[in-house]
Amino acid sequence: MSGVLSCRLASHRSRQSGALVTPEEEEEGEDDDDDEEDDDDNFACVMANGTGTIMLKCVVVGDGAVGKTCLLMSYANDAFPEEYVPTVFDHYAVSVTVGGKQYLLGLYDTAGQEDYDRLRPLSYPMTDVFLICFSVVNPASFQNVREEWVPELQEYAPNVPYLLIGTQIDLRDDPKTITKLNDVKEKPIVTEQGQKLAKEIGACCYVECSALTQKGLKTVFDEAIIAILAPKKGALKRRLGPRCINCCLIT
């Protein structure tokens, strides 16, 4: 986490997005200082060195080539990466405002290949939320959620909340992709299957998205933040407003 101060600025852009507020804040205004301190104790967080900004840690896991890196880069840079670069634990950070309070959302990418099975858990300590990803056009990656990824998180990070994320939904109706699946007698994973699996594995929720079109992309990270900050308060309400995104590659 100490790398936050030495991060290299990759982009700086401002865009309209939903700022998150609790129902209590909407009705009564911002909580007093004591309440804010109590809220901060409810999740594992650290202060970005000397900045006074609370850092939330989000780690993305799942099979290789399901779109984890593209998911993070498309969200952090507001642009789909033109070239595929295999992941070796890249870190990003995005500044977000929740109920008028500033947070630094640390995004940790991981490699899903077996070669990294021993190295990957080193990024798990102090994680606030996990995103378990599978591709909706890769049934094997869907099956591995239950067989590989949930057991791994239960072993190395018990009691940390996780979301189930279905990626690459733009390929669900792609003719070439469907043909390849038909050749092996497979079909794309449908929304109902994802929702059912999320309940069975105890995920906070199921969200589908496309890093290419960015459909559902913001919802993924909104729900991740909700899982950290308001696990017992229900869904946070959204209020339109500007959000400044500072995307950094943490070194």
Q: Is 45 a residue whose pLDDT tops 70? A: no
The per-residue pLDDT for range 152-182, each reduced to its tens digit, is 999 999 999 999 999 999 999 999 999 999 9
Q: Check: CB of residue 109 under 8 Å from CB of residue 90.
A: yes
SS3 of 193-232: the string is HHHHHHHHHCCCCEEECCCCCCCCHHHHHHHHHHHHHCCC
Cα angle 121, 127, 128; round to 5? 150
pLDDT: which is higher, 189 or 102: 189
Looking at residue 53, the DSSP 8-state letter turns out to be: P
Those residues whose C-beta lies under 8 Å from the C-beta of residue 90, and which sit 6 or more positions away, are 69, 72, 108, 109, 249
What the chain holds in terms of domains, given with CATH numbers, is 2-249 (3.40.50.300)
For the stretch 47-99, pLDDT in tens is 655 567 899 999 999 999 999 999 999 999 899 987 766 555 478 899 998 88
pLDDT surpasses 50 at 103: yes
pLDDT for the residue 237: 42
The pLDDT assigned to 47 comes to 60
Average pLDDT score, the chain: 78
Query: Using 50, 70 and 90 to split pLDDT, how confident is the model at 31?
Result: very low
Query: Quick one: pLDDT at residue 243?
Result: 38
Confidence of residue 193 (pLDDT cuts 50, 70, 90): very high
Question: What is the b/e burial string over 107-125, where b = at least 16 CB atoms within 10 angstroms of the residue's CB?
Answer: bbbbbbeeebeeebbebbe
Average pLDDT over residues 180-209: 98
Q: What is the pTM of this model?
A: 0.77
